[in-house]
Amino acid sequence: MGRRVTFADRAKTDLRAIPQETAIQILHTLARFLDSEDGDVKKLQGIVPPLYRLRAQDYRVMFRDRGTHIEVTRVQNRRDAYR
């Protein structure tokens, strides 16, 4: 069984601003990662507590691993994600 996911308010706002079809594909990528840990995930350097990013097309899903669940903090286009 996969882990749970929670969304920060800012991540919910980010998802609502993305076109619906793209947002659904991002959520499918996130669900696949939660079920099988399959996906392009990297730990971002120099951030405490650790922050990870999941690639989903041209978007990046930023999240923190809380052990029993992950907390999605942001969902941004790759051109804006690392600024």
- In the chain, domain spans: 4-81
pLDDT value of residue 17: 95
pTM for this predicted structure: 0.89
Using CA atoms, how far apart are residues 60 and 47, in angstroms rounded to an integer? 16
Q: Are 68 and 4 in contact (CB under 8 A)?
A: yes
Nearest to 74 by CA among 26, 28, 10, 20: 10
Mean pLDDT of the chain, nearest integer: 91
Residue 2 has pLDDT above 80, yes or no: no
- In this prediction, residues 32-53 reach a mean pLDDT of 90
Using CA atoms, how far apart are residues 51 and 57, in angstroms rounded to an integer? 19
Eight-class DSSP state of 44:
P
Give per-residue pLDDT as tens, 51-82.
999 999 899 999 999 888 899 999 999 988 87
Architecture of the domain whose range is 4-81: 2-Layer Sandwich (3.30)
- In this prediction, residues 34-63 reach a mean pLDDT of 92
Place of tokens 């947002």: 23
Residue 62 identity: M
